[in-house]
A and B are shown apart, each in its own frame.
Chain A
């Protein structure tokens, strides 16, 4: 963050999607040229043709292209320039006094769309099975290069820099005591906030254990550890292509993602086994897992398409890989997280189920750990009520 901020103004934001944009997108989907069908009956060669064809059919014929705009414009959202990049964010204040300010960060291939259904339970808990004392003021920023935030035009926007920007955002909104939450890339940002420990930050909660990806192989002694390590290895050997490509050649894949809506959809659907089958099921069998409905999934893909952010979003992986390589070369261990609340929830469908021992290795001062009953990598999206309960429980002690 630059030391001299000149543009601290917060401007209300309104999305305005033109008919031309929608027509062009619809036309491109309809004109898709398809490859031959995969030679297997499962996900082992990637996104299945039947799934993607049904997605394309639904997208052009049944999906309401105006819903994305309507959903976002129904919420108070704004932009403000931080460290040279225009940051888009949703900001919903609770009606309850003493609500705890919370900044939640989405990941890839997600966006603020992942988090919309948690706004109700978090800001208005009494309407959603909670108590007034559970209320949060919610801030949902779009990562730089994602959605309606600006794209960085210079190098260096790794997760550490985003974390600094988020602290500035919260200060700018007048919050002098707040907590932070994230999964996926958002977990890396939240972890970095925890280590930077701005004085206003009193707690973090994550639902992906990023400390495992940074260090050496974690222990595999107990049954839970062994199973988790096998899951990590399975991901690394059969599902990490998107990760390596984005971390090494974001521009190369970017051309395809910005020019082909169906290619973009396939790339985004192919994140992890659990979420793939859930999303595939929503299209092929018409049975969504929780809130991972066809419309919600397409809102997210449509947002990536309309904002043309396939390449800029992938660059976040490149930046993180560069930062990790620098840290490894310097041989410096990151500072420990020591905040009043350090919370973690393991969701059963996550790429690997982090056992408490692994979480404690990454966060020795862990204050909250729980294994949730349902939900996967996109826990907030899939199970917003259950996810919200986790946040209430995790942050209870700092209220």
Chain B
């Protein structure tokens, strides 16, 4: 955040999509040229043809292109310039006095769309099985380069810089005591906020572990770091220690790097960006190939099965349509480039990140890419005040299971809210 802020104004925002853009999109979907079908009966070669063709049919023939704007414009949306970028955010205040302000950060391939169904339960708990004391005032920003936020035009927008911007956003909104939550990239941002500990932040909740114990980090990232021989040996020793202790979890995390998207986007976001910007079905395929659990659920939603909770066809297509209309496939991928550069720089410097002393709450969802063991969470978050394994939900927990996710948030922050944790 720059020290001199001149444009601190918070302006109401409404989405206005010209019909011509929607017509172009529909035309491109209909004109898609398709490859031959995969040669397997499962998702082991990637997104399956039958699924993507059904998605394309639904998108161009049945989907209501007006619903994205209608859903977002029904909510109080704003923009404000922070550190040179216009940041888009949804801001819903609870009717309940003493509601706890909460900033929730989405990830990739998500957006604020992931979070819309938690607004009700979190801001209006009495209508959703909670008590007035569970209420939150909600701030849901779009990451820089995502959705209706500006795209960075200079280097350096890694999760830490976004975290500082979020601190500024909350203070600009007048919040002097608040909490933060995130999964996926949102977890990286929220973790960074916890370490920066801006005035007013009193606790965080995460549903993806993005900080790792030293030995686990060495096993995961060690091979990727351009380092001298000595450092390589040290990394190898640490890595073998981690491999002995938690082989299965480590393999699940390492499995992340056996998917191309998480190698391509940190390396060459621009290259993949050209294709994603030019073909809506190519974009849809790239976005749906995130993890096996969410893919299977989304595939089921399109191929006639029951959607898994909130992961319905129209909401999935809302999110893809948002990426398309805002032309943010490339700028969103750049966050991986920035994030990995920051991780490598930190490991290469040998400096540990500042300790996270604030209260940290963590929920493991059963369909998540890996089941973070409590021991890992305790090691990276010494002040772990809450750890729970939820019954249902996966990587997009807030999207898929908004009620259950909201219950987790309520439980996680209950002690912080009452001032009994510090």
Instruction: Tell me the A residues contacting B by CB distance below 8 Å.
Output: 32-36, 38-40, 45-49, 52, 151-155, 233-234, 236-242, 244-260, 262-267, 270, 308, 310-312, 315, 318
Q: Tell me whether B244 is interfacial, beta carbon within 8 Å.
A: no
Contact A244 B263 (CB under 8 A): yes
CB-defined contacts of A246 to chain B, threshold 8 Å: 260
Contact A256 B268 (CB under 8 A): no
CB-defined contacts of B285 to chain A, threshold 8 Å: 251-253, 255-256
Chain B residues 102 to 153 lying within 8 A of chain A, measured CB to CB, are 151-153
Contact A257 B275 (CB under 8 A): yes
The 9 closest A-B pairs by CB, nearest first: A263-B275, A245-B260, A256-B282, A46-B268, A241-B264, A46-B271, A252-B46, A311-B35, A46-B270
Q: Fill in one digit per residue for B239-281: 1 if any A CB lies within 8 Å of its CB, else 0.
A: 0000000000000000001111101111111111111111101
Contact B276 A266 (CB under 8 A): no
Contact B35 A35 (CB under 8 A): no
Contact A47 B270 (CB under 8 A): yes
Contact B331 A36 (CB under 8 A): yes
CB-defined contacts of B270 to chain A, threshold 8 Å: 35, 38, 45-49, 266
Q: Residue B35 contacts which of A234, A245, A251, A318 (CB distance < 8 angstroms)?
A: A251
Contact A249 B259 (CB under 8 A): yes
Contact B275 A254 (CB under 8 A): no
Contact B45 A315 (CB under 8 A): yes
CB-defined contacts of B257 to chain A, threshold 8 Å: 244
Q: Residue A241 contacts which of B47, B154, B267, B330 (CB distance < 8 angstroms)?
A: B267
Contact B47 A244 (CB under 8 A): no
Distance of A246 Cα from B33 Cα, bound (Å): 19
Q: Residue A238 contacts which of B49, B267, B273, B284 (CB distance < 8 angstroms)?
A: B267
Contact B39 A154 (CB under 8 A): yes
Contact A256 B286 (CB under 8 A): yes
CB-defined contacts of B289 to chain A, threshold 8 Å: 249, 252
Q: Tell me whether B230 is interfacial, beta carbon within 8 Å.
A: no
A sample of 10 more A-B contacts (CB under 8 A), given A45-B270, A153-B36, A256-B285, is: A35-B330, A39-B152, A249-B289, A252-B46, A256-B275, A260-B275, A264-B275, A308-B33, A311-B35, A312-B36
CB-defined contacts of B337 to chain A, threshold 8 Å: 45
Residue of A nearest to B40 (CB): A155
CB-defined contacts of B154 to chain A, threshold 8 Å: 39
Contact B276 A256 (CB under 8 A): yes
Chain B residues 306 to 336 lying within 8 A of chain A, measured CB to CB, are 327, 329-331, 334
Residue of A nearest to B259 (CB): A248
Q: Tell me whether B224 is interfacial, beta carbon within 8 Å.
A: yes
Distance of A8 Cα from B327 Cα, bound (Å): 51
**Chain A interface main SS type:** helix
Q: What would be 17 A-B contacts, judged by CB atoms less than 8 Å apart?
A: A33-B277, A45-B334, A239-B268, A240-B263, A241-B271, A245-B264, A248-B259, A250-B46, A251-B46, A255-B35, A255-B47, A256-B281, A256-B286, A260-B274, A266-B274, A312-B35, A318-B45
CB-defined contacts of B278 to chain A, threshold 8 Å: 32-34, 259-260, 262-263
* A244 nearest CB across to chain B (Å): 4
Contact A40 B155 (CB under 8 A): yes
Distance of A265 Cα from B273 Cα, bound (Å): 12
Contact A255 B279 (CB under 8 A): yes
Q: Tell me whether B98 is interfacial, beta carbon within 8 Å.
A: no
Contact A266 B226 (CB under 8 A): no
Residue of B nearest to A263 (CB): B275
Q: Residue A267 contacts which of B40, B52, B275 (CB distance < 8 angstroms)?
A: B275
In the complex, which of the residues A32, A254, A310 has the most CB atoms of chain B within 10 Å of its own CB atom?
Answer: A254
* A242 nearest CB across to chain B (Å): 7
Distance of A78 Cα from B3 Cα, bound (Å): 70
CB-defined contacts of A46 to chain B, threshold 8 Å: 267-273
Distance of A311 Cα from B282 Cα, bound (Å): 12
* B271 nearest CB across to chain A (Å): 3
> A35-B327, A47-B274, A49-B270 are known contacts. Are A255 and B34 too (CB-CB below 8 A)?
yes
In the complex, which of the residues B33, B278, B282, B289 has the most CB atoms of chain A within 10 Å of its own CB atom?
Answer: B278
* B122 nearest CB across to chain A (Å): 34
Contact A237 B282 (CB under 8 A): no
CB-defined contacts of A258 to chain B, threshold 8 Å: 33-35
Contact B35 A308 (CB under 8 A): yes
Distance of A251 Cα from B52 Cα, bound (Å): 11
Distance of A50 Cα from B270 Cα, bound (Å): 12
Distance of A155 Cα from B224 Cα, bound (Å): 32
In the complex, which of the residues A33, A253, A255, A263 has the most CB atoms of chain B within 10 Å of its own CB atom?
Answer: A255
Distance of A247 Cα from B44 Cα, bound (Å): 11
> A256-B279, A260-B278, A264-B275 are known contacts. Are A241 and B268 too (CB-CB below 8 A)?
yes
Contact B260 A35 (CB under 8 A): no
> A250-B46, A266-B274, A267-B275 are known contacts. Are A255 and B282 too (CB-CB below 8 A)?
yes
Contact A311 B274 (CB under 8 A): no
CB-defined contacts of B272 to chain A, threshold 8 Å: 46, 241, 256, 266-267
Q: Fill in one digit per residue for B197-235: 1 if any A CB lies within 8 Å of its CB, else 0.
A: 000000000000000000000000001111000000000
CB-defined contacts of B48 to chain A, threshold 8 Å: 251
Distance of A264 Cα from B271 Cα, bound (Å): 10
* A32 nearest CB across to chain B (Å): 5
